[in-house]
Chain A
Amino acid sequence: MERNQMHKHIFLMRQSFFDQGLLDDQFIQLEELQDDANPNFVEEVVTLYYRDSSRTILNIEQSLEKNPLDFNKLDNYMHQFKGSSTSIGAKKVKAECTQFREYCRAGNGEGCMRTFQQLKKEYAILKKKLETYFQQTRQAGPSETACRPRMN
């Protein structure tokens, strides 16, 4: 694919993340922190997020198998996870976290489990999309104009 076409493709891909509500303004804040001295900052943060949160996901999974459920513990795990998700701008994942915490506070185990399944789905979808995005961005190389399309 010709370079300009690749860049356009990547641009549209990125735009779709916002249009579909997968990412929010915080992701743009991360992009703003990227520069020539830290050219892979966003990818580094996202990679760190997926590595760090996989442990939390496992903890939540194990906690959901206990009987009775420790809603306080679950809420604490989710508080952590929501924080990280917020920090990278993972909008849909963050929404599921909020929902999960509401179910915790209501002591609704069924709700927690349902929401957690949905959360894992969104989490995985975002991971795949961002992996593709970063990979293609790397392949396309620097664009001729400013790398980051500005969104006002």
Chain B
Amino acid sequence: MAAEAQFHVLAVDDSVIDRKLIERLLKTSSYQVTAVDSGSKALGFLGIHEDEENNEASIHSVSPNHDDDDHHQDVDISLIITDYCMPEMTGYDLLRKIKESKSLKDIPVVIMSSDNIPSRINRCLEEGAEEFFLKPVQVSDVNKLKSHLLKGKAKESQPNINKRNIMEEMSSPDRTITNYGGLENV
């Protein structure tokens, strides 16, 4: 589908092997990919700088409509997928900063981790992560991103998408946790 080529995913992982893997996985689904090795680099790419993130009149934005920006204003990130365990800034820290940012908070965020720790997973989902993938990430996981990408584009979620996801969750092995916005799951 021609629409798929428009989705630009930002992948964040300090492991060079996992970066190569996630990049390949995402490209297989025809997403454009930018992979960085840290949360701070991710924020830099997204146009957020620590001292200005809460600035009301922030001149940094990733929306293509803001022509007066000087950094990365042409970058339209559809989804951020980040590792949890990273030095200095964890995926959770990055998630929080994104959700605290006026310009970035609506970008769907997915967390990946090699550890299956329920409290960690819940914390991320509560903070607004769309999904939590257990590593190593599979093609079937990446296939689940589509609905989040479409949601991000369309702002309004359609009931059918959630229903399909619930059915997928029931039939697929318990490897991903999807955030249905308050509904109890897994």
Contact = CB atoms under 8 A, between A and B. Distances in A.
B21 A87 contact: yes
B43 interface: no
A83 B21 contact: no
Contacts of A84: 15, 17-18
Interface string A32-66: 11000010010011001100100000000000000
B59 interface: no
Interface string B21-33: 1001100100000
A38 B25 CA distance: 12
Contact of A87 (B17, B28, B85, B139): B17
Interface residues of B, number: 15
Chain A binding site: helix, strand, loop or mixed by DSSP?
Answer: helix
A52 B17 contact: yes
Interface in B1-58: 15-18, 20-21, 24-25, 28
Contact of B135 (A38, A49, A83): A83
A26 interface: yes
Given A26-B136, A29-B139, A80 B17 contact: no
A86 B114 contact: yes
B139 A83 contact: no
Contact of A49 (B17, B25, B28, B139): B17
A45 B136 CA distance: 13
Interface in A75-109: 79-80, 82-84, 86-88
A55 to B, nearest CB: 10
B114 A52 contact: no
Given A80-B15, A86-B136, A87-B136, A45 B25 contact: no
B17 A41 contact: no
A104 to B, nearest CB: 15
A41 B114 contact: no
Contacts of A41: 24
A87 B16 contact: no
Contacts of A87: 15, 17-18, 21, 135-136
6 contacts: A29-B139, A44-B20, A52-B17, A82-B114, A86-B135, A86-B136
Given A84-B17, A86-B135, A87-B18, 16 more contacts: A26-B136, A29-B136, A30-B21, A33-B24, A33-B25, A33-B28, A41-B24, A45-B17, A45-B21, A48-B16, A52-B17, A79-B85, A80-B15, A83-B15, A87-B15, A87-B135
Interface of A: 26, 29-30, 32-33, 38, 41, 44-45, 48-49, 52, 79-80, 82-84, 86-88
